[in-house]
Amino acid sequence: MSRRPWPLMFGVLIAVLLSALGLYLYLKATPYAAEIDHGPSPEAKANPYLAAEHFLQKRGLSVSHANSLDVLPNLEPRQNSLLLFGDRSNMTPRQIDQLMNWTRAGGRLLFVAQSLWNEKTGQSNDLLLDRVQVHQSLSKDLKDPPPEGEPDDPYPNLTKLYLENEDAPAYASFDTAFHLEDPKNLAQAWANSAKATHMMQLSHGLGSIIVVTDADLWTAPAISEYDNAWLLWYLTADTQVTLMYDTEHDSLWALLLRYFPQALVSLIALVGLALWHVGVRHGPLLEPAPKARRQLLEHLRASADFMLRRNGQHSLLHALQQDILRRVRHRHPGYDQLAVAEQWLVLARLTHQPTRAISQAMSPRPKQRLSSAEFSRLVAHLQTLRNAL
């Protein structure tokens, strides 16, 4: 009886079971949607004001970036707002003059106060802040702090901006640790928290200057809180916005260290090896002895050095070998008629040295130059053979 149908039946059974299992899972499985948070995008990490830019663009404003004030001549003053949110410690007086002239022509300038006023020196480290004659101090150092706020004030730590024809103020979350002061009474508008002033607006020619204590309220995610986003739009409305927040650039060495660390390590190692090769010496330096006390040994050493430089190593080695052959011929007549192996046996018997050492010393040397250590060792060996004869 044939057993071939059994494998076929077994395969059909497995297929039926798998189909039944798949149908069961299909009827029982319930699809669902899940959101996976991958964190901020690389663009958002590189630009802390990306959310603010998108908000302004949705409100119909054009937003661009700048890394320096070189773009200032290309900005039409009456149609542009310039937001200085980056570090300005390297700003020169000439750049400040250009910025103030641009604002006087109708530009709208918004910048962050970056230094505290020093009463002793009568200035701060922020040249632009000093130019607009606004002082910044710590709220805790106010001599006559304002009252803690109205009893019914629900947000004493928020900055309030009151507008005409509006019953309720706009709220912004400026840092309450800093306070702006207008000693010349030049400000036309300002916004306060319960303890201090955090925003001032001044007129300058045909344009306006807005000074704030910080710009963190316009970074993500703070811009979505309170009226922070609306306030930024209100301050830049009806203009094209140019944002400067990254004015510090890495040096060439910092970029090389970041992107090519292996190349830098290799370069440093190569320079170190080059310095070591140039600085290495083969022995200590000998000071020249006075000519009045030359001895016989010194004359012999000088003669040997002269012959070595003039005739080379091979001439000196050949001279020693010939001297050994002359002595062995005198002690063993008929030495030249012997084979080379027999000659070395005779030398070994007369000098009590091993045959291998004699072959190394008496064999013809190649034309290449020997190292100092090898040359000295070979000369010493030949002298030992000569002295033994």
CATH at residue 60: 3.40.50.880
Indicate if 302 and 372 belong to the same structural domain. yes
Tokens describing residue 316: 């000196």
Residue 377 scores a pLDDT above 80 = no
Domain boundary among 244, 277, 307: 244
Phi, psi of 290, deg, nearest 5: -60, 145
| Residue 169, C-beta contacts closer than 8 angstroms, at least 6 positions apart | 160, 161, 162, 163
Query: Which residue type sits at 204?
Result: H
Alpha helices by DSSP H, listed for the chain, are 5-28, 42-46, 50-58, 93-104, 127-131, 228-236, 252-259, 261-279, 296-311, 313-331, 340-351, 355-362, 372-388
Q: With pLDDT > 70 as the criterion, what percentage of the chain qualifies?
A: 80
Q: What are 103-139's pLDDT values in tens digits?
A: 999 999 999 999 999 888 888 888 999 999 999 999 8
Domain boundary among 205, 223, 244: 244
Q: What are 354-369's pLDDT values in tens digits?
A: 777 777 777 766 666 6
* 128 in a structural domain: yes
Highest mean pLDDT among 160-169, 233-242, 318-327: 233-242
Indicate if 219 and 299 belong to the same structural domain. no
Domain boundary among 205, 226, 244: 244
* 258 in a structural domain: no
Question: What mean pLDDT comes out for the span 177-194?
Answer: 89
Identify the residue with better confidence: 357 or 184: 184
- Number of folded domains that form the chain: 2
Going by pLDDT thresholds of 50, 70 and 90, the confidence category of residue 1 is very low
Indicate if 186 and 315 belong to the same structural domain. no
pTM of the model as a whole:
0.56
Question: What mean pLDDT comes out for the span 153-161?
Answer: 84
* 11 in a structural domain: no
Residue 306 scores a pLDDT above 80 = no
Residue-range definition of the domain harbouring residue 308: 295-388
User: What is the predicted pLDDT for the residue at 209?
Assistant: 93
Mean pLDDT across the chain: 80
Q: What are 247-300's pLDDT values in tens digits?
A: 455 556 666 776 678 888 888 888 888 888 777 666 666 677 666 555 656 655
